Amino acid sequence: MPSSVRSRARERNSVLSRPEFMSLNHQPLCSGGGPTESRGSSRRLGQIKHQTSQQSEEPTDRGSRDRRESTKMPEEDCMQLNPSFKGIAMNSLLAIDICLSKRMGVCAYTSSSWGGCRSMVALLALTGHGITWIIGTIVCLTRSNTLAGQEVLVNLLLALILDVMTVAGVQRLVKRRGPWEMTPSFLDCVAMDVYSFPAAHASRAAMVSKFLLSHLVLAVPLRILLVLWAFLVGMSRVLLGKHHLTDMVCGFALGMLHFSLMETVWLSSNTCQTLISISTLSWSPFF
50 carries an active-site annotation: no
Cβ of 138: how many Cβ atoms within 10 Å?
A: 14
201 given a catalytic annotation: yes
How many helices (H) does the chain have, and how many strands (E)? Answer: 12, 0
CA torsion 77-78-79-85 (nearest 10°) is: 160
Catalytic residue among 26, 50, 215, 243: 243
What's at 92, amino acid-wise? Answer: S
Q: For residue 214, give the nearest of 139, 146, 156, 140 by alpha carbon.
A: 156
State phi, psi for 123 to the nearest 5 degrees.
-65, -40
What DSSP state is assigned to residue 268? P
By C-alpha distance, which of 132, 116, 201 is closest to 163?
201
**Catalytic one of 26, 50, 129, 201:** 201
Q: What is the DSSP string of 128-139?
A: T-HHHHHHHHHH
Which amino acids are annotated catalytic?
201, 243
